[in-house]
Structure 1
Amino acid sequence: MALKAHTREVLFCDLIVKRRAQHAPFPEMSKLVALWKRAADQKLPPKLFDKGEASCIINEVRIDEARQIVTILLSVADKRAPDQTYGNHVKRSSRTVAKEADEGNEHSAHLVISLTHRPNYPETYACLVERVPTLSIPRVQSMLNDVVKRYCEIDPSLFSFNAVSGAKAKVQNFIPNIILAGNPSAAFQRDIEEGRINGLRLIKSMPKQSLGSGNYLELSDLEVKVNVSKLIPPGQRWATILQAVQTQKATYSRAKMYLAPAGSDSAASFEFDTDTGAIIGEAYVRRQSISNIDPVLRSATDKIVDHLAMKMVALLEKERTG
């Protein structure tokens, strides 16, 4: 994707707070936000992706107590990107800005997250994510979880509860995590009800192990094929599939669907979480463009851009009350 200086696209998501310990309480959102703010204030070392070729940091966290919204600015730098060239074809001239040895092509993304949960869903918070290259929804999720994990490793007692075993109660520490779940777009609702389901697979992550000799092949996921009947009642296809998949969530954490729009011969694939039905990645996620941004934007910034952040906050407030 290519960014424009005066336009940004935002993705509508839900931030779902989870806990790895079965009987642990769901952690307070404010405690997670405090850790993300600490990472920005303390300049926590970056999280590395792609064998160290890409890195991500939290630049700034701003909490608006009055509106009950937090704004987070993240940046990613990719060393594999080429030197940037700017051209003026009228003058037949161009210039290239060369990277230094440890630099990467940088992009920044704003997140605005509600600090009040969705009605009737106490672990779910409305969220908007600015869409930029190299900083996908799964990567943002991974970054936020990594910060929480690192601070919990430093101080294991950050999140704890009284676990009852027999007649005794024992303090047990745990590490919470979050899921960034993309909200389904209108195209998703249309295609799954009117289109053609070409395939469905349940996916179980496996401990990595070599296949054969030489360590050239490696097992990572186990997939199970699911046959989907064409006789699912109209208007109930997604609900029927999700309810069935959720019965297997203890074994299979993800599912992949191959979906072709009505009248199309080609199918697109997307994954979703078997517990929540959350769309993983950006395909079929609801989005909206913010245009006529003035002053115009750069590809990266080390501070929250107020005039963009406030537009995103206004969208989130409308989403939260709509």
Structure 2
Amino acid sequence: MLAVNDTKSTTAVFLLTGIVGHEDVYLWISIPLCLVYAIVIIGNTGILFIIKTDPSLHEPMYIFLSMLAITDLGLSITTMPTTLGIFLFNSREISLDACFAQVFFIHSFSYTESSVLVSMAFDRFIAIRDPLRYASILTPLRIAKMGLVCVIRGVALQFPFPFLLKRFQYWRVNVVSHSYCMHNDVMKLASADITVNNIYGFFIILSTVGLDSLLILLSYVMILKTVLSIASRMESLRALNTCVSHLCAVLLFYIPMVSLAVIHRFGNSSSHLLQIFFGYIYVLVPPLMNPIVYSMKSKQLRVRIIRMFVK
């Protein structure tokens, strides 16, 4: 690959990467990928439709679930065109501006989802700690304000990313490690000092993943404290059972996110396949599994889904 020192960033292009060494079976890989994306879109859209049309589900827990479904849909739709473009049509090229736009939306939806998970932890704490005042504390107006804060926080934290990346000069051809653009991946391709990007990226990780996971942990410490004060063992187990779905959503979101961030920053060339693996888990597994987990664990939601197919 030839590099020119005075290459302007506007003339540079990025080449996305699928699964290196398996190009001959891309068409076969695209079949399960298309199936996963279809399930993600149908599952999350179905959750939104059921909650919207059923007044009995207009409760705080299900409103927060709707927010989670929206962020999952946004994250999947953002990565779907480039991912399927590679495996279906071998279309790897993406322009500079399109890549930066994808960075913007991927990180926006990720940080917003992290905030929603914190809100859902607070929701479970209020439901267990003060069930009689649950609906009066988490009113629709208050939930709407919390949702707005989640969106503003997600957008504001990542807003500098495209501008921090655009100020760099790049080679004429740049190979990205994933089938979509992420900040950590793109900044390494810059032919300049990326210290500022590294520091800001580390600050974002601490202020989102670090702070949010700490708040969720604190919420569950308070929940356990409340549950242990309940005399009846059956009531204690019933209260904890309402948290299982949220705990699954938290683990499905944070484990791939943290693993991918660690591999990007501290991994070497031998961890490239691992990087690709966690990259697909990060964008596919949470949107795929969240509707399934909540549908299985929520009796009300499960009954509504069954009624859609069985009269």
| TM-score bin (small chain) | under 0.3
| Structure with more contact order per residue of length (Cα contacts < 8 Å, sep ≥ 6) | 2
Bigger strand share: 1
Larger proportion of helix: 2
TM-score, length-scaled by structure 2:
0.24
